[in-house]
Amino acid sequence: MKKVYVSLTNKDTIQKAIQELEEYKKSLEYKNDLFVRKLTEIGVEVAETAIARGKGDTSKDARFSIVYNHTDYVIKGQIILTSTPKYDKDGRVFYPHLAWEFGAGIHFNNGNAHPLAAEMGMGVGTFPGQKYALNDFWWYKDRLGHLHLSQGTQAAMPMYKASVEIINQIELIAAEVFNGQ
């Protein structure tokens, strides 16, 4: 909280109070921006770690980007996870980052379901046309026709874990950034 003292009978103190309030406004805009940036950076770090530690044969080429949006008095930070799409033998597109979030196959995901999988229509056995999700392993051919053994991919939940950590850190980061205000 900022205290501003002013004498309503003195023009100079009124002008000084206006100046102090303008400086305080700029300070809050900077601190709001810093607050959002720190939280998104924490989220990306947690998400990258989740994928790095994840088990399975899905490509780990996931990329994270942060988009900041400033409108009026709102600063919004958005973490975006993307990966290079893959295609199965029938030409259906598969996004590896979805496998890392929700899992693929029962081997790594038996009893380790993503907490939001059901409400989002995701999880083991939900990929259209899948045949092997409930097998402990399966073989597949890549686009060049090479045969590969797969046990699927663990639901590493990078975005879910990032959101949980951001929620857990909000008060701590707010106190750090806005201390004394």
Instruction: Give the number of other Cβ atoms within 10 Å of residue 133's Cβ.
Output: 18
Question: Does residue 143 contact residue 97 with C-beta atoms inside 8 Å?
Answer: no
pLDDT tens for residues 89-110?
A: 667 677 778 888 888 888 888 7
pLDDT at 160: 95
Q: Which residues contact 149 (CB under 8 A, 6 or more apart)?
A: 137, 138, 139
Q: Which residues contact 42 (CB under 8 A, 6 or more apart)?
A: 162, 165, 166, 169, 173
Tell me the percentage of the chain whose pLDDT exceeds 90.
27
pLDDT at 170: 96
Is this structure's pTM higher than 0.75?
yes
For the purposes of burial, counting CB atoms within 10 Å of the CB of 143, is it exposed (0-12), middle (13-18) or buried (19 or more)? exposed
pLDDT at 112: 66
Question: Does residue 161 contact residue 155 with C-beta atoms inside 8 Å?
Answer: no
Question: Does residue 158 contact residue 81 with C-beta atoms inside 8 Å?
Answer: yes
Here the tokens at position 172 are 């701590």
**Segments of the chain scoring below 70 in pLDDT:** 1, 88-90, 92, 111-112, 127-129, 180-181
pLDDT at 1: 65
